[in-house]
Structure 1
Amino acid sequence: MSRTHIRDFHDDDLDAIVRLWENAHRGDDAPVYSLAEVIASCQADHAVVAIQGDRLVGTAVGRAAHAQGWIVFFEVVPGPHAEHAAAALLDALERRMAPLGLGKLSILVGEDDDPVAALTANGFEVLHSVRYLERRMPVQRRELDLLKDVGGRILPRHLWRAVSGMRREKELLEERLVTPLSRPDLADRFGVVPPRAVMLFGPPGTGKTTFAKAVASRLDWPFVELFPSRLADGPGGLAGALRSTFETIGELEHAVVFIDEVEEIASRRGGTPPSPTQGVTNELLKLVAEFRESEGRLLVCATNFVRALDAAFLRHGRFDYVLPIGLPDDEARTAIWSRYVPADSIADVDIAALVEASDGFTPADIEYAARRASQEALARALRAGEAGDADSLATADYLRALGATRATVSEADVEGFLADIDTFARL
């Protein structure tokens, strides 16, 4: 039998290490470190291999993070050489990484992984109190520049939970959008095709943008909001800028793309002479069709005037769903008021009275009234000269502010919205 010797990793060893990793993780749905990470560490960090004759029979691959070293892959082919090779590999990797000033060398393995015995035999201690947790980064390094180019960003993960009330709307978005996109295997089991594009419509200020951001947050996908007015300033005009932007977005693995007030660039075509935006509408229709051909991305458009959209824009096959977003319900208004009333004053405020008095108001209307009440209370305290001893805000302050706030959505708007639900909604 040939003697086993240990040496540093060479690029020519990569194919053998890939086979070793594949054999080690055959049937393993979730190895701690992916093959891509192992290959990257072989090439950029620290790796040693065990060679028997001209055959690679083991490897230990590590990387350093601050004062701690991590073994990202350790495997030895079973056989008479295995015990010696395991010990020699671990010793060689430790010597190679020692100049980095590491305080400890660590490894994460599955509960039933074979290397545990070899590791404990070579000085590694099993810490039973340790649990391994991980969170996938929503954007990989190669995508950061692309995301920056299109003005995209990663939103906080709590936005979905922050949308209180509006239970029916949230259920629709969860069932129609979030679940099929985040759990494609489950969707496939029931024959559900994950959506590619959705239209949100409703009166202004009802939270369509908030819902679009909440969906991106819930999916943990980058959020890219397109502003046609800004794109129009480009040298190729609005149509050219839209195509260029969509091409860049197409290079992202995942994205929620949001266009607000889409009626500005997708209004009804026709007339003599043709509308100046007709070419843009034509281009957008083509882009939506192309966008639908790729997985992992969702286009969300929002409009205050769904009846103003070009008929071709709302045909089946372009938007999977056309969802109404109406005024906040009692539960939602309760959450909004609770958010804006200061903690020091909330015990003195009848939130239920404010909820009743603000029926028919948008979230933006309520925010305006709350801030107006706070500003008036501050001004009153300053006029009194003793801001620290001034009375806290009371229900009457908010009711006065509501009385001075004009509702964004009129009764006629509400009636029109209800009629639009019957005509255009596709749930």
Structure 2
Amino acid sequence: MTSWRIRDFHSADLDGILHLWETLKASDVDPVYALSEVLASCEKDHAVVAVQADRIVGAAVGRAAHDQGWIVFLATLPDFRGRGIGTALLAAVENSMSPHGLNKLSALMPESETRVEAFLGRGFALKKNLRYFERTIPVQRQELGALGQLGGRILARDQWEKVAGMRKEKELLERRLVLPLAEADLADEFGVVPPRAVVLFGPPGTGKTTFAKAIASRLEWPFVEVFPSRLAADPQGLAGALRETFLEIAELEHAVVFIDEVEEIASHRSGEPPSPLQGVTNELLKIIPAFREQPGRLLVCATNFIRSLDSAFLRHGRFDYVIPIGLPDRQARDAMWRRFVPPSVADAVDVALLVDRTEGFSPADIEYAARSASQRALEKAVYDDGGQTGGRPSVRAADRKGPTTQDYLDAIGETRTTVSHEVHQDFLEDIETLGRV
């Protein structure tokens, strides 16, 4: 006569499940499914336990989806292994799941000889040459509604890698922002408080928005861009709409919140009577400390005119870093050109010459010149009029393989740079007086 019996799981059995889980962990076995998933399935899916007197000595937990069933947890106490409890638990949980009309019952389990024997004893086949891959989805389903209302989105995971060149800026952002936010527990061990708010400043077209998106992509956090110009039309007024937006953002578990051209709502407060935007600036100054108290969030503000920002806006305690994003250096320009030149002509184009000729160009300038050269080369390849409108398609189009070095040089020569020498010099001064990295 056995000293144990199998019965259905009761809510009062949670402590017994926890004890089984801790016993597995103590024996250096890492269960495949997280404890939270196992406990949730105990309550809402299918679970059976093996008991001796009032003591839980084993458990099996299953989950059914359509015609596929999964064993998410199987464990017995060490002293009770080898007594057939595992096989009996599997039989009982399968019987509980059978009304779902399952065609297949599968399991992913840590390697353990006793568990393998239990599965084989119940008729499971051990599949060879399989690997288990796992990925945590960064945004939970219940957050998608709130994210959609905010106009936020999940960015592709490769945004960070797509930022061509700009190695110094990427390394700085990786170290100061991404590392402590992505590795919060490790940061805590070293006494590092993860950043909550940063300002990116620099001349127009240098990629501040691109970097903000890349940070969100790198962290795998939702990206929410706040547009003051759109909020201004709200019946509450800009200040009230701004406050309401940040209250909605607080409902998300994680978020990178981006405000571009923040100088529009955070410029110097002065004048009698106060300007209409002064109340908006005051509201934003109140919002930031409250935002900083919420973990798992990062506020990124971008500005082309950092000198116009209110001094109270930039002070310590509101923004952790004030990071310059400037014109690309030679290495960055080289990476950008190699990204834009089509592979079919890469060996024939003198990229080094293009790099030399675009000193002082912003990333946006380089992209414009590259796109312009490609468009003109396409037109010359298709039409016999040198790219002028009104020509007829040419049979000679097949002879052209893509833009040449001269096509790029012509486009560079006709591109008006975004950043003047004076603006660049002001930016270098701002790095010294206002930058904080």
TM over 0.5: yes
Of 366-375 and 64-73, deviating more is 64-73
Question: 1:26–1:242: structure 2 CA closer, same or farther, 3 Å change rule?
Answer: farther
Q: How many residues align?
A: 427
Q: Who is 2:348 aligned against?
A: 348
Q: 1:13 Cα deviation (Å)?
A: 4.2
2:363 maps to a residue whose letter is P
Tell me, in whole angstroms, the C-alpha distance in 1 between the residues paired with 2:247 and 2:255. Answer: 13
Q: For the residues of structure 2 that align with 1:421 and 1:371, how far apart are their CA atoms? A: 31
Q: Superposition pairs for residues 208-219 of structure 1, below 5 Å? A: 208-219=208-219
Aligned to 1:228: 228
The letter of the residue matching 1:371 is R
Partner letter of residue 211 of structure 2? Answer: F
Pairwise CA distance, 1:136: 0.9
Mapped contact 2:345–2:401 kept (Cα < 8 A): no
| 1:271 alignment partner in structure 2 | 271
TM superposition shift of 1:249: 1.5
Deviation, structure 1 residue 141: 1.7
Matched, 1:259 2:269: no
In 2, Cα distance between the equivalents of 1:375 and 1:162?
22
The 1:80–1:222 alpha-carbon spacing in structure 2 relative to 1, beyond 3 Å, is: closer
8 Å Cα contact 1:38-1:73 kept in structure 2: yes
Query: Cα–Cα, structure 1 residues 81 and 408, in superposed 2: closer, same or farther, change >3 Å?
Result: closer
**Secondary structure of the residue that 2:91 maps to in structure 1?**
helix
Match of 1:331? 331
Q: Whole-Å Cα distance in 2 between the matches of residues 368 and 172 of structure 1?
A: 27
Corresponding residue number in structure 2 for 1:422 = 432
Which residue does the alignment assign to 1:388?
398
SS of residue matched to 1:400 = helix
Q: Which runs of 5+ in 2 are unaligned?
A: 385-393
What RMSD over aligned residues (CA atoms) do the two structures have, in Å?
2.5
**Match of residue 62 from structure 1:** 62
What pairs with 1:5-404 in structure 2 (closer than 5 Å)?
Answer: 5-14=5-14, 16-25=16-25, 31-64=31-64, 68-79=68-79, 83-98=83-98, 100=100, 102=102, 104-111=104-111, 115-124=115-124, 126-127=126-127, 129-384=129-384, 385-386=394-395, 387-390=397-400, 392-404=402-414
Please tell me the residue identity of whatever aligns with 1:405: T
Give the one of 393, 400, 407 matched to 2:417: 407
- Give distance in 1, aligned partners of 2:256 and 2:305: 22
Bigger mean CA deviation after superposition, 181-190 or 76-85: 76-85
User: In structure 2, how many angstroms separate the alpha carbons of the residues matched to 1:333 and 1:73?
Assistant: 54
Deviation at 1:40, TM superposition (A): 2.5
In 2, Cα distance between equivalents of 1:244 and 1:182: 28
- 1:210-264 Cα shifts (integer Å, max 9, x gaps): 1111111111111111111112222211111211121122222211111111111
* Contact 1:4–1:81 (Cα < 8 Å) also in 2: no
1:378-427 CA distance string (max 9 Å, x none): 22233222333335311111111111110000011100100111110011
Q: 1 CA distance for matches of 2:103 and 2:202? A: 59
**In 2, are the aligned partners of 1:196 and 1:319 still within 8 Å (CA)?**
yes
Q: 1:201 to 1:29 in 2, by over 3 A?
A: farther
Q: For residues 67 and 301 of structure 1, what CA distance do their matches in structure 2 show? A: 50
Change (3 A) 1:261 1:80: closer
Cα drift, residue 313 of structure 1 = 0.5
Tell me the TM-score normalized by structure 1.
0.91
Secondary structure in structure 2 of the residue aligned to 1:344: helix
* Distance 1:112-1:173 versus aligned 2 partners, 3 A rule: farther
Secondary structure, counterpart of 1:416 in structure 2: helix
- Give the direction of change, closer, same or farther, for the CA distance of 1:147–1:25 in structure 2 (3 Å limit): farther
Percent of paired sites with the same residue: 62
Q: Quick check: 251-260 or 184-193, which moved more?
A: 184-193
CA distance in 2, matches of 1:290, 1:317: 11
Q: Specify whether residues 241 and 27 from structure 1 end up closer, same or farther in structure 2 by C-alpha distance, changes over 3 A only.
A: farther
For 1:390, give the aligned amino acid: R
Cα contact 1:2–1:53 (8 A) shared by 2:
no
The answer as to whether partners of 2:222 and 2:255 remain within 8 angstroms in 1 is yes
Cα displacement (A) at 1:281: 0.6
In the alignment, structure 1 segments of 5+ residues that lack a partner are none
Q: What CA deviation, in whole Å up to 9, does each residue of 1:75-96 have, x standing for no partner? A: 2345559723322110122233
Query: 1:30 and 1:137 mapped to 2: Cα distance?
Result: 20
Which residue identity does 1:165 align to in structure 2? G
**Alpha-carbon deviations, 1:120-148, whole Å to 9, x = none?**
44444555633322111111122111211
Task: After superposition, give the CA deviation of every residue in 1:16-47 in whole Å (9 maximum; x if it has no partner).
Answer: 43444344445879642122211322333332
Please report how far the alpha carbon of residue 186 of structure 1 lies from its aligned counterpart in structure 2 after TM superposition: 3.0
Deviation at 1:99, TM superposition (A): 5.3
1:55–1:292 CA distance, 2 compared to 1 (3 A): same
> Please, which moves more after superposition, 212-221 or 409-418?
212-221
Conserved 8 A contact 1:83-1:118: no
